[in-house]
Amino acid sequence: MLSTIFLPWYIKVPLTVIKGSKYIKNGIGALLQGKVQVAGPDGVAISVAILSGNISTASSVIFLLDIGDTLEEWTHKRVFGDLAKSMALNVTKTWLVKDGAEILVSTDDIRWRFGARSCRKCNTV
């Protein structure tokens, strides 16, 4: 929205209305459903600013909402990426039962053949 600073009013007004229509539509939808959500006040604020002729305020609100949406998407991607990494199993050793005794072996030493377990280190099948 910073690009609208240097535009004439006859270009700035339609551009602001077009960019704000997403928030206005979401706000009207939230109000019609009777839900109290963030989209309601956002849409009302932009609508009132445009209808009262205060295009600069509407542009500023839209700009800040766009920044908020971008930060929300980035945070969502980052959190789920970190969550996936933290939940990944980084197992390097496992317990193997051999002759009734449990021994700790590297997972690299364990092979699966046709459902039968074998351990290179233990020479068992």
| pLDDT 10s digits, 6-62 | 778 888 888 899 999 999 999 889 888 888 888 888 899 999 999 999 998 999 999
What are the angstrom distances between the C-alpha of 113 and each of 94, 95, 103, 106, 119? 17, 18, 20, 17, 11
Kindly report whether the global pTM for this prediction surpasses the value 0.85. no
- Assign 113 a pLDDT band (cuts: 50, 70, 90): very low
Cα 71–Cα 74–Cα 80 angle in degrees, nearest 5: 135
